[in-house]
């Protein structure tokens, strides 16, 4: 009887604790209140560009991983060890060493997020990384020995059957796990079932259609597509989502394969629209400590995109500076981005303006750009549980800037990013409740009051306005004007009083109204030529704006 009371007390304590933690943990799961409507810019899917099966970047990645010493399994099973083994087997080197190493290992931990009641979590990373070894070499006994194959499928890849689970382990089913964990865990389960079925195990547990796995996993992928990719731009989590989707696209059959491709296409289209010369600095979801990152060219998605581009061209500098473990998946899988994604990633059109909606409890991405520049909005946090890390509004140019300090940018008010609303971007225009940061190497060509003028390329000047509470960047067509004349013209039609009241006239004559201190769930731009804007960006379509007709 005493044991029963002790167990009951433990259960009650854990329940109370989880309930108390719930407000701080449920932010890591998608809000499914309203599907994101389709905008006027479709996600491209056409693939006609000829692609090679081999590239120098691919071989460099294989050589990088296959040359590494095998570390201790318990310490490095999550990421490093499976990639060393996979690359070595693909390079057909150290085959005996890799087989014997695998035969001597065992599963360590369980799938799902690791936390203090589940310290042995994260084994889904390992299993997902072992899946390509299973599918690529199970019919090549000279590479993957039969006894190694048997050990791999029975002892190391442990997910199987139809126990589809969306919840974080040991949370009493109260907390939904994150996208990357669900895709790695359930993707592994689906693919192991499929492998067993295709290799003669005609058991209900391995029939993904009859046991419900195909329906459940397809439904989850469709939900991601329709309600928004929750971990958008996430560092590091989006990289593992990409790998899990590449596994499914490469090896799965039926609707799971189809929807994996749709999601990859959508994420890569977001990347293409929001990057400039394979650099970007968008708002991200999860890990507030990432606000310390100032590099503009080292996210994991960039590593994958550079790898995909290497199969089409040898004229770009495509060195992988960070994320070789993600790039390896792009290097060995057959998936290729759509033609328009590839083109927009390396060559911008004459002009475009796009708003990307991310759904409920979220913030948008907003971009204005062409071949010479890209203005990248920084987003806005929606409360601590939203896990959205806003960034400064950044102006990329063709100078190849690599660090935040080297680009013009605006952020504010103050230094607390949780208070920012950096969504104030429109065509060739940006505004936020803080001063414009001017890189040290930039020298103004003209100055009038709170205005300064800079040259950023052959076609445009950059005019900036700076006060304690408002910073503005606006690009001006040169049109043969001298720097002084260009700055005089924009300053004359935008007196200080009007700007401080939230009004601005662009050099093309477009009237903008803005509220630099907008509530964090509303677009900073309030009116365009007297027409009120749709400021509730949680209801914005997925891709809305314009691209040139010929692009």
In a domain, 246, yes or no: yes
- Tally: H helices and E strands in the chain: 16, 21
List of E strands, 325-484: 352-356, 365-369, 373-376, 379-380, 388-389, 393-397, 408-410, 421-422, 425-426, 429-432, 436-437, 446-448, 451-455, 460-466, 471-477
My answer on whether 112 and 214 are in the same domain is: yes
My answer on whether 369 and 329 are in the same domain is: no
In the chain, the number of structural domains is: 2
My answer on whether 297 and 364 are in the same domain is: no
Each of the 551 residues of the chain gets a pLDDT tens digit; together they read 556 566 556 555 555 454 444 433 444 677 777 899 999 999 999 999 999 999 999 999 999 999 999 999 999 999 999 999 999 999 999 999 999 999 999 999 999 998 888 888 899 999 999 999 999 999 999 999 999 999 999 999 999 999 999 999 988 888 999 999 999 999 999 999 999 999 999 999 999 999 999 999 999 999 999 999 999 999 999 999 999 999 999 999 999 999 999 999 999 999 999 999 999 999 999 989 999 999 998 899 999 999 999 999 887 778 898 999 999 999 999 999 999 999 999 988 889 999 999 999 999 999 999 999 999 999 999 999 999 999 999 999 999 999 999 999 999 898 899 999 999 999 999 999 999 999 999 999 999 999 999 999 999 999 999 988 999 999 999 999 999 999 999 999 999 999 999 999 999 999 999 999 999 999 999 999 999 999 999 999 999 999 988 77
State the pLDDT at residue 149.
98
My answer on whether 191 and 230 are in the same domain is: yes
My answer on whether 145 and 286 are in the same domain is: yes
My answer on whether 319 and 413 are in the same domain is: no
Last residue of a domain, one of 342, 377, 407: 342
Give the residue from 199, 201, 277, 268 showing the smallest Cα distance to 238.
268
My answer on whether 337 and 354 are in the same domain is: no
Backbone angles phi, psi at 34, to 5 degrees: -150, 130
My answer on whether 336 and 399 are in the same domain is: no
What is the 3 state secondary structure string of 202-240? CCHHHCCCCCCHHHHHHHHHHHHHHHCCCCCCCCCHHHH
| H helix runs in 411-544, sequence order | 483-492, 496-500
Q: Where in the sequence is the domain holding 360, given as residue range(s)?
A: 348-546
> DSSP states of 135-192 as a string?
HHHTT-TTTS-HHHHHHIIIII----TT----BPTTSTT-SBPPHHHHHHHHHHHHHH
Last residue of a domain, one of 342, 364, 384: 342
pTM for the full predicted model: 0.94
Longest dimension (CA), the chain: 91
My answer on whether 230 and 377 are in the same domain is: no
CB 172 within 8 A of CB 15: yes
Q: How far apart are the first and last CA of the chain?
A: 74
Give the residue from 214, 272, 285 showing the smallest Cα distance to 543.
272
State the pLDDT at residue 4.
55
Give the residue from 348, 340, 338 showing the smallest Cα distance to 368.
348
User: Which residues does residue 176 pair with via DSSP β-bridges, in sequence order?
Assistant: 167
The Cα 471–Cα 516 span in angstroms is 9
Say which DSSP state 522 is in. Answer: S
State the pLDDT at residue 21.
46
- Would you state the structure tokens that stand for residue 542, as one six-digit string? 């997925």
In a domain, 43, yes or no: no
My answer on whether 382 and 336 are in the same domain is: no
Last residue of a domain, one of 321, 342, 363: 342
In a domain, 3, yes or no: no
State the pLDDT at residue 27.
41
**Phi-psi group of 538: left, alpha or beta (phi > 0 → left; psi -120 to 50 → alpha; rest → beta):** alpha
Q: What is the 3-state composition of the chain as percent helix, strand, coil, each rounded to the nearest 5? A: 40, 15, 45
State the pLDDT at residue 5.
62
In a domain, 508, yes or no: yes
Other beta carbons within 10 Å of 468: 10
- Would you state the structure tokens that stand for residue 99, as one six-digit string? 């087989």
The Cα 54–Cα 63 span in angstroms is 13
């Amino acid at each position: 009887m005493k044991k029963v009371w002790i167990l009951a007390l433990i259960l009650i304590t854990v329940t109370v604790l989880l309930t108390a933690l719930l407000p701080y943990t449920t932010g890591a799961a998608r809000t499914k209140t309203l599907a994101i409507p389709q905008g006027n810019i479709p996600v491209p899917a056409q693939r006609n560009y000829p692609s090679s099966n081999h590239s120098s970047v691919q071989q460099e990645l294989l050589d990088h991983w296959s040359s590494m010493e095998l570390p201790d399994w318990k310490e490095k099973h999550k990421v490093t060890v499976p990639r060393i083994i996979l690359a070595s087997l693909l390079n057909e080197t150290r085959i005996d060493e890799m087989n014997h190493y695998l035969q001597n290992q065992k599963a360590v931990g369980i799938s799902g997020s690791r936390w203090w009641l589940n310290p042995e979590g994260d084994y889904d990373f390992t299993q997902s990384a072992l899946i390509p070894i299973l599918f690529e070499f199970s019919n090549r006994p000279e590479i993957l020995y039969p006894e190694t194959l048997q050990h791999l499928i029975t002892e190391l890849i442990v997910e199987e059957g139809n126990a589809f689970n969306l919840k974080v382990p040991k949370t009493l089913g109260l907390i939904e796990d994150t996208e990357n964990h669900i895709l790695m865990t359930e993707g592994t389960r689906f693919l192991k079932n499929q492998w067993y079925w295709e290799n003669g195990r005609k058991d209900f547990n391995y029939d993904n259609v009859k046991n419900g796995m195909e329906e459940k996993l397809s439904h989850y992928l469709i939900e991601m597509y329709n309600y928004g990719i929750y971990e958008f731009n996430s560092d590091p989590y989006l990289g593992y989502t990409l790998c899990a989707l590449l596994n499914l696209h490469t090896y799965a059959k039926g609707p799971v394969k189809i929807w994996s491709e749709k999601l990859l296409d959508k994420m890569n289209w977001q990347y293409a629209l929001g990057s400039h010369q394979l650099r970007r600095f968008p708002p991200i979801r999860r890990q507030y400590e990432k606000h310390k990152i100032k590099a503009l060219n080292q996210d994991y998605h960039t590593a994958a995109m550079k790898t995909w581009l290497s199969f089409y061209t040898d004229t770009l500098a495509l060195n992988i500076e960070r994320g070789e473990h993600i790039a390896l998946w792009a290097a060995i899988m057959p998936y290729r981005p759509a033609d328009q994604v590839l083109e927009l990633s390396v060559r911008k059109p004459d002009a475009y303006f796009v708003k990307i909606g991310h759904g409920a409890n979220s913030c948008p991405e907003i971009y204005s750009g062409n071949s010479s520049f890209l203005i990248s909005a920084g987003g806005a946090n929606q409360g601590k549980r939203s896990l959205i890390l806003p960034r400064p509004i950044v102006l990329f140019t063709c100078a190849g800037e690599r660090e935040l300090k080297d680009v013009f940018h605006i952020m504010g008010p103050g230094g607390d990013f949780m208070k920012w609303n950096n969504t104030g971007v429109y065509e060739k225009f940006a505004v936020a409740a803080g001063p414009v940061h001017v890189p040290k190497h930039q020298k103004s060509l003209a100055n009038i009051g709170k205005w300064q003028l800079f040259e950023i390329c052959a076609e445009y000047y950059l005019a900036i306005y700076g006060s304690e509470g408002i910073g503005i960047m606006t690009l001006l067509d040169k049109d043969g004007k001298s720097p002084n004349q260009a700055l005089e013209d924009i300053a004359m039609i935008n007196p200080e009083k009007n700007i401080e009241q939230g009004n601005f006239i662009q050099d093309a004559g477009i009237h903008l109204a803005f509220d630099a201190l907008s509530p964090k769930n509303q677009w900073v731009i309030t009116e365009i030529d007297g027409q009120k804007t749709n400021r509730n960006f949680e209801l914005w379509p997925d891709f809305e704006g314009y691209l040139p007709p010929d692009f």
